[in-house]
Structure 1
């Protein structure tokens, strides 16, 4: 019997590492390689068994933590960042898991695999393969805690939406318009009772995770990856109100949760870490603990995924090195010109305004932006060299408010946001304000490409004029396109403008030419070098 068990364990290891037919399958660069091993079921495998593995390719070594996935199965996941032959060796306090060896081959990525997103050029982002990434996010806090049918509708909506990033909570949310019980819970439930008022009271075994909860979360993150969408995973949030108690686990359990979560998710190339949504509203966690939690996440992630922390009323210390970018809640920053760039110049990191209020019809002041206001917020952010996240809070059929539960989009801003995304992705590079001190309407990718946003201002004409700083030399020629950002039209004007010699802070056309504009709000001008 002992021989049979050892043979079964060895055979299972080979199948898990190589595929069910025993054939080694190559793994794309930045994809996920997984080893599954049979191990102890007795006692508490989550607490009693330690498992890690070292992956090496001859020039570098990467150590990753393993985890218990239930039903006597233990897993180690790895995201190779270099092609070639890799080998691994496990380490465990369990004899049946210790010293397991194997190899796999990492090959070049497929056409839709650009790797994880990284910071580029101080204020912007690129995929690991160098392709530019411009975050156009949306908010779906509790979408993975809904019935399967609704989740599938959400995925179909996202497949036809312009968004390439989703903000989403790990823990379920108990808040206005999202008070349903989720299909899965993150911990093993020990009791469920109703108090005298009929309110359900739960008891949990915080030493035992519920693998089905995390498996479901992983499936949905993979679904987003197939759609080219980054999962901005919110590790903690304050929207529990004592209903489940997941916001008040205590520091020791919080750190165990972080260890388990990162072991499971760090190998997913489309994962970002958001330490919290509205961290300052999580009253059960002292401010100083957020440094401890953030360091725990960063130290447990050998791949350096993007990491931020989101504020409510008070900003966190976003300048700290663990944070790769800044995630801000501040609607006023994108209500008018010259505001969005100010915080960027404080933190010197990519600035993502992840909550600027939402398009919808809720009574709360944060939930009733018009489509025009939501679209305007995106343009204000992009012109300033920053980025903005969308949310929709219309009360849809069945109370499936998109921002909370997902479902279908019914607002007018997503199409206009998609139009802006196309404009930005067609530019030769990310935008920066040309003259951040004096001109908050004019942004540039380089001296051959400018985007001027007029916003709500309605003017009958525009005289060709650009900031001198970093501008084109005399003699270069340009053409102008008038963009109606709301009606999503582009009018290519026939005039050709030639740059004159300049001696002040502005650049003009030799003839000081002006063009007529339709007297309507939300116009933009795309100015591109013209070569005959």
Structure 2
């Protein structure tokens, strides 16, 4: 293999390169364009791929047709140094094109794609932990320019770092706004007897402008440090376009084209579907095949999952699925459910829908800001991650954040921002200290504890910790702690003047050596942060 790579490197250096050498940063995107006018269907009749070589590493990526007689290869360099490439194609004019570029070292620990770390958590490829505190904006990328700008401004204000968003247009909940562009070539429309517009698509021809617009949205999110959790299929077509009932061959072609275009973007995740079981034209075997198609067409191994209706769980032990993505409020009514799911699946647990802060008639859209915040805390202290969502209808049906984006009007986003900063900048990854017997106490395994009382209204708390520390070393006597009272609903912290020192309280618990207590302001949604004094 090394001799083969060395030969190719020398060969490429001797070639008169068709692509001018350039320098790009690790995990950014290299793009090569080629012009060719094809008399038939450029999407289905022209195959293009590129082999990229870096010393002992070789990756092959598929190219795509981008309209206007232009074919493209996109590549995300995973290693710094010199890269060389050469094209393959069934078309002579696109075959044997070659080039090179230099890749420089990524500069921060939050560079690169996100991957699974420590079994239950996530890290950037460059080593920094990533804690998903995201929101849902299903159809925001299909909205008007003015609404999209408001959305981006509010995302920056809220500090969200993940957005769940649909690739295909979504009709359910999007009121009167229709997309400007669609993913396929429109042959014609007609009005049926009921007065409904019927769309007739040429599924063999994609619309590059639609995907170019999607790419702009992904880049806008990346500029804000936000991961784009791309929902590839969904059941919210409502019989308008038929994208939820495409033939299996079209589904596969759509996936391959989408990944050829977008897999080189560092900030993407793949969500095969939202509420997969409601797409009743697809079987579990169909979904398994689509998951494998996605995996096979992503040389960079971006995160992959699939989301189901309430309490309908996929087989998340499937090796291609990197994490659990579920819709279910039961696991976050307290910490037990999320902590148990971790032990069952042994993968990161992302609860992507646990109800929404809002005022809609539907029961899933009637949570107060405090109630949603409470559920998010329950998931996070158990070592999982919970997605925010807002469905407040203030009279403008086109400005309900969960559907179209726009202006945040609720309160929970502020509490989520506070919790994100507490975890990201301070505590780090959490797990329950004693999962079976203590549903309040979380630890980062480094001596810090976060005790969340939820809906209880306590007037005091007697210092008490489990000796157990998950699978790590047990808590020892003689450790001195300082305490901070946290109001989870409004994001305030109050330092307690007293210090505490651990002493044994039997086989399983620790108390304060002087039996000290903390006075609490009798109200719900309080927590205590304990920090060891070094």
TM over 0.5: yes
Q: Does 1:170 align with 2:171?
A: no
Alignment of 1:113-512 (within 5 A): 114-313=111-310, 314-399=312-397, 400-470=399-469, 471-512=474-515
The whole-number CA distance in structure 2 between the counterparts of 1:327 and 1:297 is 16
Per-residue deviation, 1:398:
2.9
The whole-number CA distance in structure 2 between the counterparts of 1:232 and 1:222 is 13
The whole-number CA distance in structure 2 between the counterparts of 1:181 and 1:502 is 64
SS at match of 2:419: helix
Per-residue deviation, 1:515:
1.4
Q: Please, which moves more after superposition, 390-399 or 324-333?
A: 390-399
Per-residue deviation, 1:110:
3.8
SS at match of 2:433: strand
SS at match of 1:285: coil
Instruction: Indicate the residue corresponding to 2:90 in structure 1.
Output: 93
- Whether contact under 8 Å (2:467, 2:476) holds in the other structure is no
Per-residue deviation, 1:337:
3.8
SS at match of 1:259: helix
- Whether contact under 8 Å (1:496, 1:530) holds in the other structure is no
The whole-number CA distance in structure 1 between the counterparts of 2:110 and 2:370 is 34
The whole-number CA distance in structure 2 between the counterparts of 1:401 and 1:501 is 53
Per-residue deviation, 1:113:
5.4
The whole-number CA distance in structure 1 between the counterparts of 2:183 and 2:394 is 28
SS at match of 1:240: coil
The whole-number CA distance in structure 1 between the counterparts of 2:241 and 2:45 is 26
Per-residue deviation, 1:40:
2.6
The whole-number CA distance in structure 1 between the counterparts of 2:504 and 2:384 is 32
The whole-number CA distance in structure 2 between the counterparts of 1:387 and 1:366 is 19
- Whether contact under 8 Å (1:427, 1:449) holds in the other structure is no
The whole-number CA distance in structure 2 between the counterparts of 1:426 and 1:444 is 15
Q: Please, which moves more after superposition, 227-236 or 465-474?
A: 465-474
The whole-number CA distance in structure 1 between the counterparts of 2:487 and 2:153 is 29
Instruction: Indicate the residue corresponding to 1:9 in structure 2.
Output: none
- Whether contact under 8 Å (1:427, 1:445) holds in the other structure is no
- Whether contact under 8 Å (2:414, 2:490) holds in the other structure is no
Per-residue deviation, 1:331:
1.3
The correspondence for 2:35, drawn from 33, 38, 41, is 38
The whole-number CA distance in structure 2 between the counterparts of 1:177 and 1:113 is 34
Instruction: Indicate the residue corresponding to 1:64 in structure 2.
Output: 61
Q: For residues 386-445 of structure 1, what are the alpha-carbon distances to aligned partners after superposition, in whole Å with 9 as ceiling and x for unaligned?
A: 010011101145311100001100001100110111111133430000000000100000
CA RMSD of aligned residues (A): 1.4
Gaps of 5+ in 1: 1-12, 19-23
- Whether contact under 8 Å (2:109, 2:124) holds in the other structure is no
The whole-number CA distance in structure 2 between the counterparts of 1:397 and 1:91 is 55
The whole-number CA distance in structure 1 between the counterparts of 2:202 and 2:485 is 61
- Whether contact under 8 Å (1:178, 1:405) holds in the other structure is no
* Residues 295 and 408 (structure 1), Cα distance of their counterparts in 2 relative to 1, 3 Å cut: same
SS at match of 1:37: strand
- Whether contact under 8 Å (2:26, 2:80) holds in the other structure is yes
- Whether contact under 8 Å (1:263, 1:300) holds in the other structure is yes
Gaps of 5+ in 2: 1-15
Instruction: Indicate the residue corresponding to 1:7 in structure 2.
Output: none
